[in-house]
Amino acid sequence: MDIMKVRKGFYGFLAAVLAVVVLGSVADRAWAASAQGIISDSIDVLRDMAKQEDADAMADVLKDARAVAIVPAMVKAGLIIGGEYGEGLILRREKGRWYGPSYYNLGGGSLGLQIGAQKISLVLVVTNEDGVRAFLNSRTKLGADVSVAAGPTGRRAEAATDAQAKASIYSYSMTKGLFAGVSLEGSVISVSVKRNEDYWKKKLSADDALKQPAKDKRILPLTGALDNLAKKAR
């Protein structure tokens, strides 16, 4: 028997077990919020981003957005096999009015060598109907089923208007006080049936949820925070 092959197989098995354990515990923490908790945390994320020096760059893209999706706490973990996990919500905008929310999960995997976990907050600015439909399907892979790119900041923001025609979704991140565009290619969006039922108190598809006017007092503080951020556009 080839000892090297045996060792290699054992180490591969051990790595897979450890990855499942670590990523499973990370996912549990990332998905522990309630529907209302996700709204409250999303407001905090927007307020923190609004204070950043490059907030006007995101506002330039946001002002004409068809929808905005937020993941208050996405956890990136790495132990031989890395992954990202988080829960969020999306609000659709039409003629200056907000509709929703609908809830979704965002997850994905990537190869990595680092050990540890990093918590980040995400804002996804949806620029067209293709991007909106990505949040209506049972499963959508970013970068494959719909175009996604890191949101323009700083000098890159000067090309934001042209960039809107190139990507359906622009993503921004906030971690440890640092604000930046971030690539989410390879991540997967899936509708959170449980959270939608939790918020709407009935079974409602993502499509139907995003047709409901966002007039409930629970969601108004969030739409207000989005409108305030959009006012920073240059």
Q: Where are the domains of the chain?
A: 3-230
Q: Which pLDDT does position 225 carry in this prediction?
A: 95
120 SS3 class: strand
pTM metric for this prediction: 0.79
Query: Partners of 124 in the beta sheet?
Result: 69, 171
- Return the exposure string of 75-114: e unless at least 16 CB atoms fall within 10 Å of the residue's CB, then b: bbbbbbbbbbbbbbbbbbbeeeebbbbbbbbbbbbeebee
Residue for token pair 């949101």: 151
Mean pLDDT of 86-110: 91
Q: Which pLDDT does position 89 carry in this prediction?
A: 98
Nearest to 179, CA basis, from 147, 159, 157: 157
Residue 19 has pLDDT above 90, yes or no: no
